[in-house]
Structure 1
Amino acid sequence: MFRKDVVIPSGAIALALCIFSTQAEPLKATQYGDFDRYVLALSWQTGFCQSIIERNRNEPPECRMQKESDRKTDFLTVHGLWPGLPKSVAARGVDERRWMRFGCATRPVPNSPEARASRKCAAAETGLSLSAAAKLNSVMPAAGGNSCLERYEYAKHGVCFGFDPDAYFGTMVRMNQEVKESAVGNFLAQNYGKTVSRRDFDAAVAKGWGKENVKAFKLTCNGSPAYLTEMQISLKASTINNPLSAGSFAPQPHPGNCGKQFVIDKVGY
């Protein structure tokens, strides 16, 4: 459990992050581990917040507090890490559509309590350590507080696999940083607030990880003109504990809905 209204000395946070980075355990499923891929979901936070406003919904705290940053890649934030449909679950008659909708609440297995997007804070606490929570909080704006995104994500996509919470969220934090430091992250930062082409985005993927991995990136846009809200990156389960490389990615059938051109949204766009 962690709360954003608790003030922790900066020195303690720095020490916690250091300990977390050196002691993170590998991510390993202790049950239902017979799946072949993960999807790493990363939000473009300014676009996500704009989409909330346009849908006339109450603006969440993490969007109301959004500020400009000199490091534009800070707006590439963690949404979640979603294991694919395990073969042992599919053998019970569960298809991809049902798995994506219910995750760990899928029947007849794994039969965990359903996590509802409208009631994220009703999900059980994750059991994250202080050091892991501090690190996650820096890249998942909706973690903790009144938003509880980490509870929802773990309840839907993590708990039924027996994932260690620190390893599960630590893997997201690590890969988010690797994407930020890649040619893709550089592309997003250089084009902050600009209209870009899907072709140029794909070229950044190819530059960083090879042309064959362009199809591993699914982009989601909203609005007219379209602006980026999220990228979903398909990854081989067998490489999840390794640094991202050309061999990490798995193609997926749909490129997303961003079309030929879209905007890399900025704060207050």
Structure 2
Amino acid sequence: MSHPFLRAAVSLAAIVVAGAAIAQDEGGRTRFILAASWQPAFCETNQRKPECTSQTGDRFDATNFSLHGLWPMRKDYCDVAGTLRTADKEGDWTKLPDLELSAETKAALDKVMPGTQSGLDRHEWTKHGTCTKLSADDYFSTSVRLIDELNASAVRDLFAANIGKTLTAEAIKAAFDKSFGAGAGDRVKMSCRRAGEGRVISELTIGLSEDATSNDAASLRDLIHGAGRTSFGCDQGLVDAAGF
């Protein structure tokens, strides 16, 4: 029979080890946000945008997440001239300077970011990309790689299989955990918006570690787990279908 003091010591050790594991899991710090839009929901309230005028179910963005942006935390408009800041904030992003992108990057970006038709890429670079110390081509090729990983996951599969139906926070977090490891869903926030008489899921913002732009080999899984936890936000919403 083991001594009661020995049993207490073993129990205490187990608690300490478990506590250390939890502390390690929660010890990450969010340095970047990957913003992934559900384009049909965005277009419900932006029907005059060029990228929204021909919403059909066979478009890529009808069943996949679209890239909104890759945002450094608490930094924007780094070394950007005042005139460009003003132009950006006025919202006519097509007046912002052209981006120097390779043909490959531009083609990939146009596919996952429908908003390039409205100059969203120029806005994202002006406000956020300038704070990453990357070239525009590297910034967007990294962003495309990360959204591609999301679209190759159980999260995208869950959304595509439930178009026209309601998804709960629990189901979405479980899909993140399935694809990116236990606890991944705790690094995600969901936004919803009113559309008609219901509430549709408009965007997922996913916390990432500082390696998001400093290590081009870092997987989305590793970047998520290097980030801090957050509240999920909207608890449920409809997966909107393309079209109005």
Q: TM-score, normalised by structure 1?
A: 0.69
Structure 1 residue 51, shift from structure 2 partner: 2.6
Large movers: runs of 4+ above 3 Å: 70-75, 110-113, 246-249
Determine the structure 1 residue equivalent to 2:240: 265
Per the alignment, do residues 60 and 71 of structure 1 end up closer, same or farther by CA in structure 2, a change over 3 Å counting?
Answer: closer
- One-letter amino acid of the counterpart of residue 204, structure 1: A
Partner Cα distance (2:169, 2:107) in 1: 34
Corresponding residue SS for 1:227:
strand
Partner Cα distance (2:180, 2:229) in 1: 16
Partner Cα distance (1:64, 1:70) in 2: 12
Q: Does structure 1 residue 141 correspond to structure 2 residue 114?
A: yes
Determine the structure 2 residue equivalent to 1:21: none
Match of 1:253 among 212, 230, 236: 230
1:175-207 Cα offsets, whole Å, 9 max, x none, are 111111111111111111111211111111111
CA contact (8 A) 1:117 1:152 kept: no
Greater Rg over alpha carbons, structure: 2
Q: Does structure 1 residue 158 correspond to structure 2 residue 134?
A: no
Partner Cα distance (1:81, 1:247) in 2: 13
Partner Cα distance (2:59, 2:109) in 1: 20
Q: Does structure 1 residue 43 correspond to structure 2 residue 37?
A: yes
Q: Does structure 1 residue 61 correspond to structure 2 residue 34?
A: no
Of stretches 66-75 and 129-138 in structure 1, the one that deviates more from structure 2 is 66-75
Question: For structure 1, which runs of at least 5 residues remain unmatched after alignment?
Answer: 1-34, 54-58, 86-98
Structure 1 residue 159, shift from structure 2 partner: 2.0
Match of 1:243 among 216, 219, 238: 219
Corresponding residue SS for 2:126:
helix
Corresponding residue SS for 1:80:
strand
Of stretches 69-78 and 44-53 in structure 1, the one that deviates more from structure 2 is 69-78
CA contact (8 A) 2:191 2:202 kept: yes
1:130-157 Cα offsets, whole Å, 9 max, x none, are 22111111111111x4x11110100001
* Aligned positions of 1:90-105 closer than 5 A: 99=75, 103-104=76-77
CA contact (8 A) 1:72 1:192 kept: no
Per the alignment, do residues 204 and 117 of structure 1 end up closer, same or farther by CA in structure 2, a change over 3 Å counting?
Answer: farther
Q: Does structure 1 residue 184 correspond to structure 2 residue 184?
A: no
> Percent sequence identity over matched residues?
31
Corresponding residue SS for 1:234:
strand
Q: Does structure 1 residue 131 correspond to structure 2 residue 104?
A: yes
Partner Cα distance (2:179, 2:109) in 1: 25
Partner Cα distance (1:236, 1:228) in 2: 25
Structure 1 residue 211, shift from structure 2 partner: 3.1
CA contact (8 A) 1:72 1:188 kept: no
Report which of the two has the higher share of helix. Answer: 2
1:90-130 Cα offsets, whole Å, 9 max, x none, are xxxxxxxxx4xxx116xxxx454313261212222221122
Per the alignment, do residues 264 and 235 of structure 1 end up closer, same or farther by CA in structure 2, a change over 3 Å counting?
Answer: same
CA contact (8 A) 2:33 2:73 kept: yes
- One-letter amino acid of the counterpart of residue 201, structure 1: I
CA contact (8 A) 2:60 2:111 kept: no
Determine the structure 1 residue equivalent to 2:14: none
Q: TM-score, normalised by structure 2?
A: 0.76
